Amino acid sequence: MSGGTDAVRAPIQAPPRRLGAAFLRDPLLAGVLLAILAACLGLVTLSPAPYLVNAVGQLAAFAILAVSLDLVWGYLGILSLGHGLFFAIGGYVCAMHLLAHAFSVTGVAPDFVQFMGWKSLPAYWFGLTSAPYALFLALALAAAVAFVFGFASFRSRVNGVYFSIISQALVYVAMLLMFRNDTGLGGNNGMTGFPLLFGYPMGSPGVVTGLAVAALLALAAVLVGTRALVAGRIGRRMLACRDDETRLRTLGHSTTRLKLGVWCLSATLAALAGVLYVPQVGIINPRVLAPDLSIEIAVWVAVGGMGRLGGAVIGAVAVNALKFWLSAAMPEAWPFVLSGLVLLVVLGLPNGLLDLATLRLRPTWFRAGIGP
């Protein structure tokens, strides 16, 4: 699933200039937005079971994460296998805010603070009782880390599989760091036990529904914003950079600035997904930085169809819904199912589930005349 492989690129036409025309030309994305709005109305009016509401909220957070990767992989040709790092940054900062707020209200120190024998929170937790500040810090920190890594990579013209390997090494180093107990971030046990959200008991039906609806609305806003980006002049440059970066650079355009800007935006969206995810699952630990999560994100995008924002959402929802079901029914089967999905996409559905809509079901070797 290399970023430079032509076979797995979704056929993308030149983006129209007006956003309204862009949505009319992309019925898949319009349908996804309508489904999101319908889900919001259903959660508010039908009051489904809390576990189902929570699952919908988690799927919405994962969909934002998939869109963030599709923005750089599907439209720029940059395959990141380290997007779990930015997701974790948002999640950890959100967890820090929840624990700091609970500490200020209840006076009960978090478990890891008691375990370490500290009398107060570390100094760098200052100000995290404020939700707006915590949100700003999560997004800004993710953008800053992405800028440093992206600037060093893109200025040195590190591309293709080399960029993918380096990005996965980065997330692995971060995982090893977060396993240390003296980081003040929970160590290998992570952070959990979030009793309050904005003063309301965590886990109450109103909070669970509110988190899910917030995640769905955030997903809709992300889809509208990213579609506006790729439908304009920047989007055309992104496609040109993906297809022939050397020619675009020869024409006088700075591909380094273009890639760096979109890369930082992608990291910010991934951090937003982490912020929305942690309150819904109630825990975060270094496992979220494991390389296999970052690989799974790429599988979501590939299954849904690269270069189609709506396809990324469908891939994330479909794969994770299957994972939720198998985790309860046959947890040991999931790694084999995931491997099968990768083989299916690579060999039979190079444009993901989008190929099903065009009835392009025969494997690539058959279409090429190699098979029987």
**Per the domain annotation, does 66 fall within a domain?**
yes
pLDDT digits (tens, 9 = 90+) for 90-127: 999 999 999 999 888 888 888 888 877 787 888 888 99
Report the C-alpha dihedral over residues 36, 329, 304, 223, rounded to 10 degrees. Answer: 30
**Per the domain annotation, does 125 fall within a domain?**
yes
**Per the domain annotation, does 327 fall within a domain?**
no
- The H or E element containing residue 283 is strand 283-284
Lowest-confidence segment of 267-276, 311-320, 360-369 by average pLDDT? 360-369
**Per the domain annotation, does 369 fall within a domain?**
no
Q: Measured between alpha carbons, how far is 121 from 184 in angstroms, rounded to an integer?
A: 8
**Per the domain annotation, does 307 fall within a domain?**
no
Please give the residue that has the higher pLDDT: either 186 or 1: 186
pTM value is 0.87
For residue 363, is pLDDT > 60? no
**Per the domain annotation, does 215 fall within a domain?**
yes
Lowest-confidence segment of 77-86, 279-288, 341-350 by average pLDDT? 341-350
What pLDDT score does 23 carry? 58
**Per the domain annotation, does 313 fall within a domain?**
no
pLDDT digits (tens, 9 = 90+) for 54-68: 999 999 999 999 999
H-state helical runs in 231-254: 233-243, 245-250
**Per the domain annotation, does 343 fall within a domain?**
no
Q: Measured between alpha carbons, how far is 134 from 127 in angstroms, rounded to an integer?
A: 8
Total number of domains in the chain: 1
pLDDT digits (tens, 9 = 90+) for 5-37: 443 444 444 444 455 555 557 788 889 999 999
Residue 177 sits in which domain range? 6-292
